[in-house]
Structure 1
Amino acid sequence: MARFHRKLERSAIGFVLAIIGVSAIGGFVEIAPLFTIDETVEKAPDMRLYTPLELAGRNIYTREGCYACHSQMIRTLRDEVERYGPYSLAVESQYDHPMLWGSKRTGPDLARVGGKYSDAWHVAHLVNPRDVVPESVMPRYGWLQRNTLSTDDLGRHLAAQRALGVPYTQDMVTNAASDAAGQSNPDGTGASGVKQRYGEATNIRAFDGNPDRLTEMDALVAYLQILGKLTDAAHRQTASSKE
């Protein structure tokens, strides 16, 4: 074998051909599954879209590097399913650009955190994690409650997502800024438009407790509260497997 390697390394053409061959095999292994993607991704007719406020929260989540400590992918292992809920399905991430599956768990997996805690709990946890989880090593994010959420570019964010295949309508893109404000103010004039465009199941409330001001805290909590709630496909699959 050593002789073969020495001979191969002395032949530039042979060495280049060997590299191309190995690269081709690796490329084929990675690309071939994409041809069966329609068969491997589950169907979810009830799949919802992120609202502009939830998408803004996702952007903040990414900006602050939350994915570095929290994964969003529950494996099929029994201990993970018992702790976090049904294992993650590919369809649940079809509108995530980029996906935030992750593999590092300094903190718990957040794939199904939506609805698990109240908005007040999330706000308190983000302001000072030790107040609700004494052993937490998570940094404080209280300043998100003081930061006014910038909504001027939300329409462009939705348009960019649409270019990647997320089925946002032009109406959603046009009304992105007003829908973000409307979702965090249930008594405001914009709340009805949010439900009309994104569905009756949309969370509409003052996420940070103050409906008169739209903050980055509103956006992040809105995003956390929708995780695992965009579709019920995983829970349906679990229920059918038990029958």
Structure 2
Amino acid sequence: MAELFHRKLERSTIGFVLAIVAAASVGGLVEIAPLFTIDETVEKAPDMRLYTPLELAGRNIYVREGCYACHSQMIRTLQDEVERYGPYSLAVESKYDHPMLWGSKRTGPDLARIGGKYSDFWHVAHLTNPREVVPDSNMPAYSWLARTALRVDDLPLHLKALRAAGVPYTDAMIENASIDAYDQATPESSTSSGVADRYGKETQVRVFDDVATEVTEMDALVAYLQVLGRLTDAPYKNTAAPQKPPGPVK
């Protein structure tokens, strides 16, 4: 009976089109309906801070080099995931990510809570020669990042574009984006205090790649990695999980 009905449906152009529309409508409703309750399902995080220009530049490098293809940034609610990586990921943690980098491929470990887990020196060594710190790693080396000066002149435009997408960057943040990126990796700068003034006292201001003479793409990428999982305390509240690790010691 079902086979006969299916054969008749395939021979009826209008009927087949209507069946496709009905099936697509059901699928669309299943995907769209949850969005009407997004205000109730997305957690509140009043302490959520924005990416600094340096961290944002590092995120752009992370995307440019395709790091998301091998590393996810989404810890699932499964017990073994939580035990390995830390508290499961919350939707609010990605509220300022455009695009989000949740991913699903794990050739390498999940990086959602990598911030503060290792020192800056470890990250630099790992990015320069992964097998030096992880002998069986199949990750490619990114040693040129330490030799490539970071472009900062276009960062005000990046922040302005993100503000148009809903990220609450202020006029002062946009205006000072280039100098803030430089100052965050140059703590001896006379204007470095402005970074913490604009982005919060927990902002990590230091030489990330151990070379104080210039700000490199290595500085930016390490700064980004060191802030992953540290933009808000929300995942650690009302759970039995330990508090997020302190900032790494170089």
Instruction: Verify same fold: TM over 0.5.
Output: yes
Deviates more, 1:2-11 or 1:34-43: 2-11
Map Cα deviations across residues 22-44 of structure 1 (whole Å, 9 max, x no partner): 11111100000000000000011
Measure how far apart 1:152 and its partner are: 1.1
Shift in Å, 1:190: 2.6
Q: Give, in whole Å, the separation in 2 of the partners of 1:91 and 1:238.
A: 16
CA–CA distance in structure 1, aligned partners of residues 192 and 235 of structure 2: 29
Matches within 5 A, 1:35-184: 35-184=36-185
**CA displacement at 1:211 relative to structure 2:** 2.0
CA distance in 2, matches of 1:65, 1:102: 11
Question: Which of structure 1's runs of 4+ aligned residues deviate more than 6 A?
Answer: none
CA contact (8 A) 1:181 1:190 kept: no
Query: d(CA) in 1 for partners of 2:211 and 2:38?
Result: 44
Give the CA deviation at 1:210: 1.3
Among the aligned pairs, what percent are the same residue? 72
**Residues 54, 219 of structure 1: 8 Å contact kept:** yes
Instruction: Calculate the TM-score normalised by the size of structure 1.
Output: 0.97
Partners of 2:190 and 2:7 lie apart in 1 by 76
Q: Which runs of 5+ in 1 are unaligned?
A: none
Say yes or no: does 1:21 pair with 2:22.
Answer: yes
Separation (CA, whole Å) in 1 of partners of 2:57 and 2:81 = 29
Answer yes or no: is the 8 Å Cα contact 1:71–1:109 preserved in 2. yes
2:214 is the alignment partner of 1:207:
no
Gaps of 5+ in 2: 242-250
- Once the two structures are TM-superposed, the CA of residue 2 in structure 1 deviates from its matched residue by 1.2
CA RMSD after TM alignment? 0.9
- Aligned pairs, how many? 240
User: TM (normalized to structure 2)?
Assistant: 0.94
2:244 is aligned to none
Q: Indicate the residue corresponding to 2:235 in structure 1.
A: 234
